[in-house]
Structure 1
Amino acid sequence: MIEMHDVWKTYPNGATALQGIDIRIDRGEFVYVVGPSGAGKSTFVKLMYRAERPTKGQIFVNGFNIDRMRERRIPYLRRHIGVVFQDFKLLPQLTAAENVAFALEVIEMPRRQIRRRVADVMELVGLSHKMHARPNELSGGEQQRVAVARALVNNPVVLIADEPTGNLDPETSWEILRLLEKINDRGTTVVMATHNRDIVNTRKKRVIAIEQGRIVRDEERGVYGL
C-alpha cells in the first residue's frame, strides 16, 4: 500500500528533514505519526501525496512509484489519496457542498453523480443539514468535517490527515478522531500526523515516532512517548 525505501529529503537551504526512512503501511491500517515540532512529520506525509519529492530513495503508494511519476500522472495518484489539513483549506466563497463537489468537478464527473456523491459523504460526516452554509457560518469542528468530506468524496484508498485536530478544542478533536476511525472501519487506510498525546495514548494503534528526521520507534498499539 505505502512503502518507503531509504528515503531522504534535503531542502534547498541544506536542511535535512528525513534520513534513511524505511517503512511499510498495509491496506486498512490506522497509523499515528508522532514526534516533536520540526522532527519531519509533515515532510513524511507530504511525500505520500507528492507535495514533496524525495532527494533520495523510492516511494510507492497504491502501486504508484511516486518519484518516477510524470507530472501529468500526479492527478491520477491524488484520486486515490484524500488529504485533511490542520487549517481546513476551504474556499470561503463556496458553500460546504460546493467545497466538497469541487474535488469532483476538476475531474469532470457528471453533475448528477457529483450531487449523489456529495450528499453521501456529507451524510457520513453528519453535516447534511449544513450543505448550503459557507465556511464562516460553520464552527471549527464543522469546517474540519467538511474538509474530511472533501477528502473522502473520491473514495480514496488512503486518507492522510496532517494535524487534523491541531486547531480544535479537545471535545471536537475527539469527534474528528471518531470520524476518522469510522472511515478506517470502512476499509480506508488512515495516516494521521498528530501532537495530540491523549488521543494517541487512549486509542492505541500503530505509532511511528520520528525524531530529527529518523524513525526512532514503530510499534503496534503504541503510545505517544516522552
Structure 2
Amino acid sequence: MIQMKNVYKVYKNGVAALNGIDVSIQKGDFVYVVGPSGAGKTSFIKMMYREEVPSKGEVYINNVELGRLKKKDVPFLRRDIGVIFQDFKLLQRKSVYENVSFALEVIEENPKKIRRRVMSVLDQVGLKHKARFIPAQLSGGEQQRIAIARAIVNNPKVVIADEPTGNLDPETSWEIMRLFEDINSSGTTVIMATHSQEIVNNMKKRVIAMENGQVVRDEHRGEYGYEA
C-alpha cells in the first residue's frame, strides 16, 4: 500500500532528514514511528501525504509515485488520507460540526450525506452532543477527538498521526488511542509518530524506529526501545 524506496531528504539549509529509507506498509497495518528528536520522524510522516517530496528515491501509495504527482492532483490523493496533528489545527471560529463537515464540503459532497456522515463520526468519537460548540469551549482531549473525526469523515484508507497525544494527559491519551484502535479494526491503516513509551509498550503494534534519518529497527509487536 505504502512503499518508500531508497528515500533521501535534504533540506535547503543542508540538513539531511532522511538517509536511504526502505519501508513497506500494508493495508490494515498499525505502525508506530519512534526515535529521538531529530531522527527524521516528521519528514518520514510528511512524505506519505506529500507535504514533502524526496530529494532522491521514490514514495508510492497504491502504486502512485508521489514525487511525480502534479500539484493539482495532490488534493485527490489526500481524499484517501486522514492527517492528525499534535496541535489539532481546528478552525477556531467554526463549530465542531463545521470543522468536520468542511472536509466533505470541499469535495462538494451531497448536503444530506454530509450531515449524516458528520453526525455519525461525531457519535463515533463521543461528541455528537457538542456539535454546536466551538473549539475554545472544548478540552484538549475533545479537540483531538474532533481532529480525528475530521480526519476519518472521508472514510480514508490511511490515517497518519504526528504526536496525537503529545499535549494530552495520560488518561485522555488512552481514550484517544482506543479510538485509533477502533479505526484500525475497521481496516484503515494507521501510522503514528509518538514519543509515548507507555503507549507503544502496552499496545504491541508494529514499531519502526528511526535514528539519524535511517530505519534502525522494524519489529512487529515491538517496543519503544528508548529511555522515556
Provide Cα deviations, 1:122-143, integer angstroms capped at 9, x if missing partner.
Answer: 1111111111110000000000
Q: For structure 1, which runs of at least 5 residues remain unmatched after alignment?
A: none
- Provide the rounded CA distance (Å) in 2 between the counterparts of 1:161 and 1:7: 20
Q: Distance in 1 between matches of 2:125 and 2:187?
A: 16
1:28-70 CA distances to partner (integer Å, 9 max, x unpaired)? Answer: 0000000011110010000000011110000011232100101
Distance 1:206 1:162 in 2: 16
SS at match of 1:92: coil
SS in 2 for 1:192: strand
- Aligned to 2:14, what secondary structure does the other structure show? coil
Q: TM-score, normalised to structure 2's length?
A: 0.98
Say if 1:64 and 1:77, in contact at 8 Å, map to a contact too.
no
Aligned to 1:115: 115
Give the number of equivalent residue pairs: 226
Corresponding residue of 2:79: 79
1:225 and 2:225 correspond: yes
User: Structure 1 vs Structure 2: percent identity of aligned residues?
Assistant: 62
RMSD value, Cα: 0.6
- What are the superposed Cα offsets for residues 148-168 of structure 1, whole Å, 9 maximum, x if unpaired? 000001100000010000000
The CA distance in 2 between the partners of 1:221 and 1:201, in whole Å, is 9
Q: TM-score, with normalisation over the residues of structure 1?
A: 0.99
Corresponding position of 1:41: 41
Look up the match of 1:173: 173
1:215 corresponds in structure 2 to 215
Q: Where in structure 2 are the equivalents of 1:125-204 lying within 5 Å? A: 125-204=125-204
Q: 8 Å contact 1:32–1:205 — kept in the other structure?
A: yes
Q: Distance in 2 between matches of 1:42 and 1:106?
A: 26
Distance, in Å, in 1 between the alignment partners of 2:207 and 2:51 is 23
Structure 2 unpaired stretches of 5+ = none
For the Cα contact (< 8 Å) 1:30–1:205, is it kept in 2?
yes
Shift of 1:179: 0.4
1:23 paired with 2:23, answer yes
